[in-house]
Amino acid sequence: MSQTVNRADFDQVMVPNYAPADYIPVRGQGSRVWDQSGREYVDFGGGIAVNALGHAHPALVKALTEQAQKVWHVSNSLTNEPALQLAHKLVDATFADRVFFCNSGAEANEAAFKLARRWAIETGGADKFEIISTTNSFHGRTFFTVTVGGQPKYSDGFGPRPAGVTHIAYNDLDALRAAISDKTAAVVVEPIQGEGGVLPASREYLQGVRELCNKHNALMVLDEVQTGVGRTGSLYAYMEYGVTPDILTSAKSLGGGFPIGAMLTTEAIAKHFAPGTHGSTYGGNPLACAVASAVLDVVNTPATLAGVRTKHDKFLTKLDAINASTGVFETVRGMGLLIGAVLADKYKGRAKDFMTAAAKEGVIVLQAGPDVVRFAPSLIIEDADIDEGMARFERAVRAVTSA
């Protein structure tokens, strides 16, 4: 018999590193979810840009249940068909020649940073290990990835950090020119800073990063954990910018809700991870790879990717209308279905208030720092759900602004 639980149980049995909302979703279908009391919500959060195809998409349910009848796990002393099939799809669709599978974006970035240093030291000598990252960036929660991430609040309080990591301003080529040298192993960039406020890089910036990396024989590492797998209207955001990275990391939407991460790179770089240099017990898990393969089949199509761009415009039209009557936003920015509504000065620091008010009106939104309300819904969210969700969000905005 299953045990009855509620939100109060979290405070009794869970480590208190999260502060979840006061309701518990128990069922989802498409872009709607229902909580324990049967209350319905429109989901504009997508599990933080994870549920690329919404909840319980039939293609993903089919892939998971079919694979569950075959093989669940075999360890990496063997290989498996779903992992190889997924790797072929990723290689065929991107710049990459080789793929490493893991379980999360943090693990994908951990692998990327380790590989970048390994490559640099083996090709350029022991002094070539420095990594340049940007302020307000986010790359995961392992100790190495929070060190590379440019938000001290996530890395403070855990003792000495790994050495050789420098942080410079985002979207600032002059800062990069001043920091980069022949000792630089890699420059790590998010095409859009997600946790840092849904702030897109300029085209000139990413192209300049590429040129400076070439000049100093450093690797360009793109963290596409949040922007990848159709989120921006292209399969990966680098395709929007006219640049090609040396290493790319992917997770979140890749599994459509099932945990999986991937690091993509070239053959020449990949060979520096010889057998035994890195690994992951669950990486390449057949269940995860089967689901991710089904995700790619749906997402990497002209119809889905074009739909992301169309839905972006619809969200912006709705948000602009809300702003015209309330003046609550300073600007709305982002690409595709990763959208950040930056709060006006009067409401700075209150993103969580808007998120909480939205939940009370039956719509799930996110925040990206204290000043930005973030939207990262299903890539195939129906227009009717956008209309209803934005109507509810407008009520939430008015509740906050009139309080």
Residue 340: enclosing H or E segment and its boundaries?
Answer: strand 338-343
100 φ/ψ angles, rounded to the nearest 5 degrees:
-115, 130
Q: What is the mean pLDDT of residues 6-31?
A: 95
Q: Cβ atoms within 10 A of the Cβ of 91, count? A: 14
Residue 196 lies in a domain: yes
Give 3's pLDDT tier (boundaries 50, 70, 90).
confident
Number of domains in the chain: 2
Same domain, yes or no: 390 and 366: yes
Return the closest-CA partner of residue 359 out of 49, 37, 138, 56. Answer: 37
Residue 63 lies in a domain: no
Q: Identify the CATH number of the domain in which residue 215 sits.
A: 3.40.640.10
Cα torsion through 336, 90, 138, 57, rounded to 10: 60
Same domain, yes or no: 260 and 381: no
- pLDDT for position 108: 98
186-216: per-residue pLDDT in tens?
999 999 999 999 999 999 999 999 999 999 9
Query: Could you tell me if 57 and 262 are in contact, meaning their C-beta atoms sit under 8 angstroms apart?
Result: no
Same domain, yes or no: 241 and 114: yes
Please, what's the b/e burial string for 197-230 (b: 16 or more CB within 10 A of its CB; e: otherwise)?
A: bbbbbeeebbebbbebbeebebbbbbbbbbbbbb
Q: What is the mean pLDDT of residues 41-62?
A: 98
Give 102's pLDDT tier (boundaries 50, 70, 90).
very high
Residue 92 lies in a domain: yes
Position 49 pLDDT exceeds 90: yes
Residues 89 and 97: their CA atoms lie apart, in Å, by: 11
106-142: per-residue pLDDT in tens?
999 999 999 999 999 999 999 999 999 999 999 999 9
Give 403's pLDDT tier (boundaries 50, 70, 90).
confident
Residue 64 lies in a domain: no
Same domain, yes or no: 269 and 314: no
Position 1 pLDDT exceeds 60: no
Domain finish residue from 263, 284, 299: 299
Position 70 pLDDT exceeds 60: yes
Position 225 pLDDT exceeds 60: yes
Same domain, yes or no: 170 and 184: yes
- pLDDT for position 30: 98
Domain extent for 180: 70-299
158-170: per-residue pLDDT in tens?
999 999 999 999 9
Indicate the pTM of the whole model. 0.96
Residues 329 and 383: their CA atoms lie apart, in Å, by: 23
135 φ/ψ angles, rounded to the nearest 5 degrees:
-65, 145
Residue 342 lies in a domain: yes
Residues 110 and 370: their CA atoms lie apart, in Å, by: 27
293-330: per-residue pLDDT in tens?
999 999 999 999 999 999 999 999 999 999 999 999 99
Position 2 pLDDT exceeds 80: no
Catalytic amino acids? 138, 223, 252
229-261: per-residue pLDDT in tens?
999 999 999 999 999 999 999 999 999 999 999
Domain finish residue from 280, 299, 318: 299
Q: Identify the CATH number of the domain in which residue 315 sits.
A: 3.90.1150.10
